[in-house]
Chains A and B, each alone.
Chain A
Amino acid sequence: MTKTINLTLKVWRQPSTESKGGFETYHASDISTDMSFLEMLDVVNEKLTMDGKEPIAFDHDCREGICGQCGSVVNGRAHGPEKGTTLCQLHMRHFSDGDTIAIEPFRARAFKVLKDLMVDRSALDKVIQAGGYVSVNTGGTPDANAIPISKEIADKAMDAAACIGCGACVAACPNASAMLFVSAKVSQLALLPQGRPEAARRVTAMVRTMDRMGFGNCSNERECEAECPKEISITNIARMNREFFKAGFFSAVK
Chain B
Amino acid sequence: MHLDAKIPGGPLAEKWDRHKFELKLINPANKRKFEIIVVGTGLAGGSAAASLAELGYNVKSYCIQDTPRRAHSIAAQGGINASKNYQNDADSDRRLFYDTIKGGDFRAREANVYRLAQVSGNIIDQCVAQGVPFAREYGGLLANRSFGGAQVSRTFYARGQTGQQLLLGAYSALSRQIAAGKVQMFTRREMVDLVLVNGQARGIVVRNLITGDIETHTGDAVVLCTGGYANVFFLSTNAMACNVTASYRAYMKGAMFANPCFTQIHPTCIPVHGTYQSKLTLMSESLRNDGRVWVPKNAGDKRSPDQIPETERDYFLERKYPSFGNLVPRDVASRNAKEQCDQGKGVGETGLAVYLDFRDAINRDGKDVIAQKYGNLFQMYEKITADNPYEKPMMIYPAVHYTMGGLWVDYNLMSTIPGLFVLGEANFSDHGANRLGASALMQGLADGYFVIPYTIGGYFAGAKLPKVSADQTEFTIAAKEADIRTKRLLSINGKRTVDDIHRELGNILWNYCGMARNDAGLTKARTLIQSLRSEFWENVRVPGSDKDINQSLERAGRVADFLEFSELMVVDALTRRESCGGHFNEAFQTEENEARRDDENFCHVAAWEYAGEGKDPVFHKEPLVFENVKLTQRSYK
Contact = CB atoms under 8 A, between A and B. Distances in A.
B172 A134 contact: yes
A42 B552 CA distance: 11
B166 to A, nearest CB: 11
Interface stretch (B273-281, B288-296, B566-574): B273-281
Contacts of A139: 122, 126, 449-450
Interface stretch (A33-41, A97-105, A172-180, A210-218): A33-41
Nearest to B372: A155
A53 interface: yes
A143 B70 contact: no
Contact of A137 (B54, B131, B135, B179): B54
Interface residues of A, number: 79
Nearest to A136: B129
Contacts of B281: 63-64
B54 A128 contact: no
Contacts of A18: none
Given A46-B499, A65-B380, A132 B65 contact: no
A161 B187 CA distance: 23
Given A133-B175, A133-B176, A144-B142, A66 B129 contact: no
Contact of A129 (B168, B179, B499): B179
Nearest to B143: A151
Interface stretch (A5-13, A115-123, A240-248): A115-123
A154 B136 CA distance: 7
Given A35-B274, A93-B386, A132-B175, A138 B449 contact: yes
Interface in B44-101: 47, 50-51, 54, 65-72, 74-75, 84, 86
Contact of B239 (A36, A50, A61, A195): A61
Contacts of A252: none
A57 B552 CA distance: 9
A136 B380 contact: no
B383 interface: yes
Nearest to B136: A154
Nearest to B71: A67
Interface in A103-127: 114-115, 118, 120-122, 124-125
B141 interface: yes
Contacts of B173: 133, 136, 138
Given A91-B384, A132-B175, A188 B497 contact: no
B161 interface: yes
Contact of A60 (B121, B140, B240): B240
A150 B140 contact: yes
Interface residues of B, number: 84
A85 B240 CA distance: 19
A149 interface: yes
Contacts of A34: 273-274
Contacts of B86: 145
Contacts of B127: 144
Contact of B138 (A122, A138, A147, A151): A151
Contacts of B129: 134, 136, 141-142, 194
Contacts of A66: 74-75, 161, 163-164
Nearest to B448: A138
Contacts, number: 221
Nearest to A161: B133
Contacts of B276: 32, 35, 39, 42-43
Given A38-B278, A149-B136, A114 B75 contact: no
Contact of B74 (A38, A46, A62, A145): A62
Contact of B179 (A36, A130, A165): A130
Nearest to B544: A54
Given A35-B274, A89-B380, A122-B187, A141 B136 contact: no
B490 interface: no
B240 A194 contact: no
Interface string B266-278: 0000000110111
B165 A32 contact: no
B130 interface: yes
A238 interface: no
Contacts of A46: 497, 499-500
A65 B161 CA distance: 11
A243 to B, nearest CB: 15
A158 B166 CA distance: 12
B354 to A, nearest CB: 20
A125 B278 contact: no
A67 B75 contact: yes
Given A134-B131, A142-B125, A64 B380 contact: yes
27 contacts: A2-B274, A34-B274, A49-B541, A50-B541, A54-B544, A61-B241, A62-B239, A63-B278, A63-B279, A65-B380, A66-B74, A85-B383, A120-B66, A125-B67, A125-B69, A125-B178, A128-B171, A134-B130, A135-B176, A136-B173, A138-B54, A139-B122, A144-B124, A145-B84, A145-B142, A148-B136, A162-B159
Pairs of residues from A and B, 6 with the lowest C-beta to C-beta distance, nearest first? A148-B140, A133-B172, A141-B129, A158-B133, A157-B133, A129-B179
Given A42-B278, A144-B128, 14 more contacts: A39-B278, A43-B276, A53-B543, A63-B239, A64-B282, A128-B175, A134-B172, A136-B129, A138-B453, A141-B125, A149-B136, A158-B159, A158-B165, A189-B131
